[in-house]
Amino acid sequence: MLDEKTIEELHSYYDRLPGGICLVKADDSEEILLANAELLNYYQCANWQEFKELTGGTYRGMVEASDYIPLKDIVRVKGQPEANYAYFQFPYRTREGHFNKGNALLIRTTQKGLGDIWSINVMKSKYSRAPGETENITGLLGGTAFYKRVNEHIQMEKIDGTGGLYCPVYFNLTNFKLYNSNYGIEQGDELLRKVADVLRAHFPYSIIAHLNADNFALVAPRDGVIEQVEAVCREVDEMIDNFSITLKAGVFFRDPDNLSEYTANSAFDMAKIACDSIKGDASRSWATYTETMGKNLSAARK
């Protein structure tokens, strides 16, 4: 049982993070140690006591009985056992009887004062954003809200040890001005909306932004990211059907041993450098950042 001071300290951190977060004992009891304010909101509970009464204080009680799978088995069957994490979905019923579905990242970690725990980071399937966060044309996050959320995500990585599981991806719609000239502004806006839809479809659990007219960015799970990036670029290029107007991508694989070096802005700067390096190469749709790219850019600016 956690003491009140520890609980207060945990809430002071986890209640400020986006999405629902639940900390669960990594043993057969699967006892819930903490649920942040956003998770209580998802379950329509006004406080911890209501949530505990609804769930019985265990992970088993958080999900519909017919869909319950022990957390250790979720990692074994659906995730990466050697790394102790998994992405999964689960249906749940709120205190007021509504059914919802959660998209979750499950991570096993050790935390001071808690021991071995499962950290469950949850987003509702239809995640609603605060007014003013979204960019009007696509409905995606705008730059300011995006970088704020990514920096919060980076801080959480440092706490729960998930650094390196995600990577920044930067997309550029090359010659988008030409598309607007050929088809008009309204059709250009429609294309941006379609690109946003493609990104949502291929990266359903990612933080995604439309930074400006022809640039998009997202934080993607590292596993399988290149395959998804290729699929996005191929789908968009086929949709445009003009070899002069294509989607390019840059990916930056961060060093998990040096996460303190990166902010959201610096990480996406590197992804952008990778993207820019292939703008004139018709044979490539994506590139990953290398130190050589950064050195070449610095030399060109001198």
pLDDT higher than threshold 90 for residue 250: yes
The lowest-confidence range among 123-137, 151-165, 256-270 is 123-137
Q: Which of 64-68, 258-262, 286-290 has the highest mean pLDDT?
A: 286-290
The lowest-confidence range among 98-107, 151-160, 177-186, 270-279 is 151-160
Which residues, including other chains, have CB under 8 Å from residue 201's CB and lie 6 or more apart? none
Question: What is the structure's pLDDT at 298?
Answer: 44
pLDDT in tens, 38-58: 999 999 999 999 999 999 999
C-alpha to C-alpha distances, 196 to 43, 140, 149, nearest whole angstrom: 29, 7, 18
**Within a 10 A sphere around the Cβ of 201, how many other Cβ atoms?**
12
**Within a 10 A sphere around the Cβ of 187, how many other Cβ atoms?**
12
pLDDT higher than threshold 90 for residue 231: yes
Question: What is the structure's pLDDT at 129?
Answer: 45
Find tokens 């920044």 and name the residue.
168
- The whole-angstrom separation of Cα 166 and Cα 162 is 8
- The whole-angstrom separation of Cα 116 and Cα 28 is 12
pLDDT in tens, 55-78: 999 999 999 776 788 999 988 877
pLDDT higher than threshold 50 for residue 238: yes
Question: What is the structure's pLDDT at 137?
Answer: 81
Question: What is the structure's pLDDT at 161?
Answer: 60
Q: Which residues pair with 132 in a beta bridge?
A: none
Q: Position 42: which residue type?
A: Y
Pairing of strands 247-251, 286-288: parallel
Question: What is the structure's pLDDT at 164?
Answer: 65
Question: What is the structure's pLDDT at 13?
Answer: 85
Task: Write down the mean pLDDT value for the chain.
Answer: 85
The lowest-confidence range among 53-57, 138-142, 188-192, 253-257 is 253-257
Rounded to an integer, the average pLDDT of 4-9 is: 82
Question: What is the structure's pLDDT at 88?
Answer: 85
In this prediction, what percent of the chain has a pLDDT beyond 90?
44
Question: What is the structure's pLDDT at 1?
Answer: 56
